Structure 1
Amino acid sequence: MQHHYDTNSAEIPPGCPAHGNVPLYGPQFGSDPEGTYEYLRSLGPSAPVDIAPDVEVELVTSYDAALYILQNPAWFVRDSRRWNALKQGRVPSDSPALPMMGYRPNALFADGARHARLRQAVTDSMATINELHLVRQVQQSAGYLISRFSSRGQADLMADYAAPLPLLVFSDLFGCPPEIGDRVIVGISGIFEGTPGADEVLGGALSELIALKRRTPGTDLTTRLMQHSAELTDEEVLHQLVTLLSGGTAPLTAAIGTSSALYLSEGWPVGLPVEDAVAQTLWNYAPIANYAAHYPTHDVELGGRTLRADDPVLISFAAANTDPKLTEHREQLSAKAHLAFGAGPHACPAKDPAIMIVVSAVEALLNRLPDVETRIPFKALAWGEGPWSRSLVTVPIRFTPPVVPVSAGPASAPVGSASAATARSSASVAPQSSAASRPAHAAPHAKQGMFSRFLAWTRGES
């Protein structure tokens, strides 16, 4: 622990147990994460950092080293109950690292046969997603959100569009009725905003959803998880849902916001499709920046450093993707060789639906607001200061308010966009959600939340 990084900076928290560790949070990191990663690379393929005050981890910044760890589950496991500092009481009980790194009984923190069983249930359930329906749901969600701000001629792309859109799509995919969907959104949003009691709100809503699906099965992801041959308990179903919801919301928000801002930026080449902006985002601005804690089963030598058994080793997907040793021959790699979705047995099982959601969301914005532009240059946009996600704080946009109100129907596709063309051709055959088939004269529920208002809008009730 002899490395030092701007030790005179006020960003080093008082009482830090290893003065000189790079703090991977706060204004200094948020303003220049690339500079931080560059410094860390000078120390080797990994280096000690403080992921939160009084919480030290080893951060892997090398692409090759990251891939080695991700693909070596025998030596590097995911069960955070092994975490030395946590077992020894050296992690503050209110640390912001605990909600992200603390153990949960789901596939993300499981190893071996248990991980294989839980993951198979998730991947098999995800494989049943109807792509045409998913695109239509994104388009409907986009239309609703844009209708809420289109008359103003300006909006914040992050708060008004990128943040709520995944929540609306997920509420539909998981078969939430309006009142439960409202509470799921409140719970998920509260977790990321640090709202007290948000975990309980989300857990209560998902417990009710599981009980409902026991009584009345549907064709949604919740029902498919419950009916899978792996025979998940209700508790296991709940924790897989929490992982899918919370693990998908922030990354999708970041990817939609960054891809949109990049596509609208002053330096974006004319004629390149939205898919290229999404690919560049995944390579250069990995939405999940630093995560995937692994615990060595024994001391491991890596690039001259010893990774101690049961001390957390985090993967910097952001640093690995921009590793100079990688960029020298990146053109020869597959366009999908980035680590934005991880690699190995714990790679994200939902990468294809995730990319489809992001591409469809960006296309919908461009289609419905053809002259939309950002009010601040891309390079001047502010990024979040946290270690986990690489996300823009705000993206002010402006546009000409549509003469005709934005509708829920599918938008026409931009030239050169394959996925939008698919969406356009399939819109008439995509299945409707069960909620959308309810009679238009039904009275709206009192004190409606976002999902209830969205469903009412799709039925022409508001």
Structure 2
Amino acid sequence: MNPQSSDSPHPEVPQPPAGGGCPMRHTGATTRLYAPESTADVYGTYSRLRKQYGPVAPVLLEGDVPAWLVLGYRENRRVLDNPGQFSRDSRIWRDWREGRVEDTSPLIPMLGWRPDCLSQDGEPHLRLRRAVTDSMETVASRGIRRHVIHFAHRQIDAFEDQGRADLVRQYSEHLPMFVLTRLFGLPETDGGQLVESCAHVMKGGEEAIAHNERIGRVLADLTSHKRAEPGPDFTTGLIGHPADLDDDEVQNHLRLVLIAAHTTTSNLLARVLQKILSSGTHLADLVSGQMTITAFVEEAMWNSPPLAVLPGRFATADCELGGQHLQAGDLLILGLAPGNLDPEVRPHPGTAVSGNQAHLAFSSGPHECPGQGVGQAIIETAVEVLIHRLPGLRLLADPAQLTDTASTWETRLDHLPVSF
């Protein structure tokens, strides 16, 4: 999808202010953030880049597209909190404007412009974001917990008589999507395909565009259906909101929420379960009430945020950030995971973070995640149901031997084998 393309007319592509000198081409960048040698030990890659470049490092994305990876906590905050200096509008992205990024690039599903609130700043952003938050509050007020309880029990029913399970493949990977299908007014049968397509969009690679288009077709059909037959769901809320969204805007907000909410919630649920089961005392403390699920969620937000790297921001003018000289139109990607572990703000990463919500996991500034409460409700309810349904729950692996699979944007837990 071309960042500028749409079925409905949109404003002319904005021009970034002219900068002096030649555009920065990252001639010193040799780290391909998407390459196996980088993703095999992604936290090691972040550490190496920090030592080499400081809080902002030049990297290469798929297709060897240059970007600045923001590693510092304070630098991430500066970018996220200043949309006038670092815009989310990718139409000012110089490499795309000058034809070095094709419309078929696997980066486009993550970075391309769309008529949604994430791609815009200022008043257009506020108008669209209000439609999202109002519609989300409406469905949340009708009770998300009951949907989570229903689907959690159904997931557990499928493996309970076996006495063992993989809580990633058989629980956390699918449960949030089933809840989202109910909130959106989608048929449950779409859930499995949407899980697969969201995973491919996040992973990148050759199939990302095809799976992004598949998601688009499902949501276009849903929008058409809900215009004809409204219901008590998020889709109908967007369609009927006073902001008067057209079909293109409705579909793109459905896509935005679907991918972001499923990816972050499924990742975070897996990490919370991993932490709880990594020690017998953790589970005992939770059952006895000495620890809360919220405390485990906060720890995961700091140490393994569900979105490791956030795409992206674009410099609106020449500027300096973290000792690097940026040019107008440069792409920045926000290292939420390395930012949370920045030794400048966390010299002792192993120390407790209970009650400290200053992490970057939900982003920050005007584009801060609007669905935090929904995600938290899904995770807390899913953990509660699981613990009460499965007595004697224990991990069937050495916690140190559990493996991850990383891409540019996320690091996912592969398996979480348990018995009960």
TM category, shorter? 0.7 to 0.9
Distance 1:115 1:132 in 2: 26
Aligned mates of 2:416, 2:362 — CA distance in 1? 24
Are positions 1:37 and 2:58 aligned together? no
Which of 147, 153, 168 is 2:178 aligned to?
168
* Residue identity opposite 1:359 in structure 2: E
Secondary structure of the residue aligned to 2:82 is coil
Distance in 2 (alpha carbons) for counterparts of 1:274 and 1:341: 18
Correspondence 1:401-412 to 2 at 5 A? none
Conserved? CA contact 1:63–1:320, under 8 Å: yes
**Cα displacement (A) at 1:133:** 2.2
User: How far off is 1:207 after superposition?
Assistant: 2.2
Local SS of the residue matching 2:345 = helix
* Residues 332/173 of structure 1: CA separation in 2 closer, same or farther (3 Å cut): closer
Q: Report what 2:11 is aligned to.
A: none
Match of 2:116 in 1: 106
Q: 2:407 aligns with which of 371, 386, 389?
A: 386
Residue in structure 2 matched with residue 430 of structure 1 by the alignment: none
Amino acid in structure 1 at the alignment position of 2:178: L
The 1-side partners of 2:354 and 2:157 are apart by 41
How far 1:385 sits from its partner (Å)? 2.3
Distance 1:206 1:332 in 2: 39
8 Å Cα contact 2:29/2:58 also seen in 1: no
1:412-441 deviation per Cα after TM superposition (whole angstroms, max 9, x unaligned): xxxxxxxxxxxxxxxxxxxxxxxxxxxxxx
Q: Is the CA contact (8 Å cut-off) linking 1:55 and 1:97 kept in structure 2? A: no
RMSD of equivalent CA atoms: 2.3
Report the 3-state secondary structure (helix = DSSP H, G, I; strand = E; otherwise coil) of the residue aligned with 2:138.
coil
3-state SS, counterpart of residue 133 of structure 1: coil
**Structure 1 residues 335 and 268: alpha-carbon distance in aligned structure 2, compared to 1, 3 A threshold:** farther
User: Take 1:62 and 1:195, find their aligned partners in 2: how far apart are those partners?
Assistant: 29
Deviates more, 1:334-343 or 1:320-329: 320-329
**Other-structure match for 1:403:** none
Kept in 1, the 8 Å contact 2:91–2:113? The answer is yes
Q: Which residue of structure 2 lines up, in the alignment, with residue 448 of structure 1?
A: none
C-alpha distance in 2 between matches for 1:283 and 1:131: 28
Aligned equivalent of 1:259, options 272, 286, 298:
272
- Are positions 1:25 and 2:38 aligned together? no
TM-score, length of structure 1 as denominator length: 0.77
Whether contact under 8 Å (1:292, 1:315) holds in the other structure is yes
What SS does the aligned partner of 2:361 have? coil
Q: Indicate the residue corresponding to 1:445 in structure 2.
A: none
Q: Is the 8 A contact 1:262 1:268 kept in 2?
A: no
Name the amino acid aligned to 2:396: R
Which one of the candidate residues 134, 139, 145 is aligned to 1:129? 139
Match of 1:451 in 2: none
1:55 to 58, 62, 65: 65
Stretch moving more, 248-257 or 188-197:
188-197
1-side partners of 2:190 and 2:215: how far apart? 7
Counterpart position of 1:286 = 305
Aligned to 2:20: none
Contact persistence 2:106–2:209 (CA under 8 A):
no
Distance in 2 of aligned mates of 1:150 and 1:197: 36
Query: Which moves more between the two structures, 220-229 or 46-55?
Result: 46-55
Contact persistence 2:405–2:414 (CA under 8 A): yes
Structure 1 CA distance for aligned equivalents of residues 104 and 418 of structure 2: 37
Deviation string for 1:18-74 (max 9, x for gaps)? Answer: 575222234433342222222222222200112324122101111111111111011
Quickly say closer, same or farther: Cα 1:96–1:199, change in 2 above 3 A.
Answer: closer
- Which structure 2 residues correspond to residues 50-199 of structure 1 after superposition, within 5 A? 50-91=60-101, 94-130=104-140, 133-176=143-186, 178=187, 181-183=188-190, 185-193=192-200, 194=207, 197-199=210-212
Retained in 2: the 8 A contact 1:251–1:389? no
CA distance in 2, matches of 1:19, 1:301: 17
- Structure 1's 308 and 164: CA in aligned 2 closer, same or farther, altered over 3 A? same
Q: Distance in 2 between matches of 1:93 and 1:109?
A: 17
Q: Deviations over 1:124-179 (max 9, x none)?
A: 11122335721111111111111112222222211111111111100111122x3x
Query: How big is the shift at 1:387?
Result: 1.6
Q: Distance in 2 between matches of 1:195 and 1:100?
A: 10
Identity score, percent: 35
Choose from 223, 246, 254 the match for 1:210. 223
- Work out which of the residue numbers 253, 257, 260 in structure 2 matches 1:244: 257
- Conserved? CA contact 1:184–1:205, under 8 Å: no
CA distance in 2, matches of 1:395, 1:332: 24
- Give the letter for the 2:305 counterpart: A
Amino acid at match of 2:322: G
Aligned residue pair count:
381
- Report the equivalent of 2:418: 397
For residue 12 of structure 1, what is the aligned residue in structure 2? Answer: none
Deviation at 1:388, TM superposition (A): 0.7
- Report the TM-score when normalising by structure 2: 0.84
Q: Which runs of 5+ in 1 are unaligned?
A: 1-15, 400-462
2:383 to 358, 362, 368: 362
Q: Secondary structure at the match of 2:158?
A: helix
Secondary structure at the counterpart of residue 67 of structure 2:
strand
Indicate the structure (1 or 2) with the bigger Cα radius of gyration.
1
Distance verdict in 2 for CA 1:92–1:375, change over 3 Å: farther
Q: 1:368 to 1:334 in 2, by over 3 A?
A: closer
Distance across 2 between alignment mates of 1:387 and 1:267: 33
- Counterpart AA for 1:114: P
Name the amino acid aligned to 2:217: G
Deviation at 1:369, TM superposition (A): 1.1
CA distance in 1: counterparts of 2:228 and 2:106, whole angstroms: 37
- What amino acid sits opposite 2:362 in the alignment? F
Q: 2:393 aligns with which of 372, 395, 403?
A: 372
Query: What secondary structure, in the 3-state scheme, does the structure 2 residue paired with 1:56 have?
Result: strand
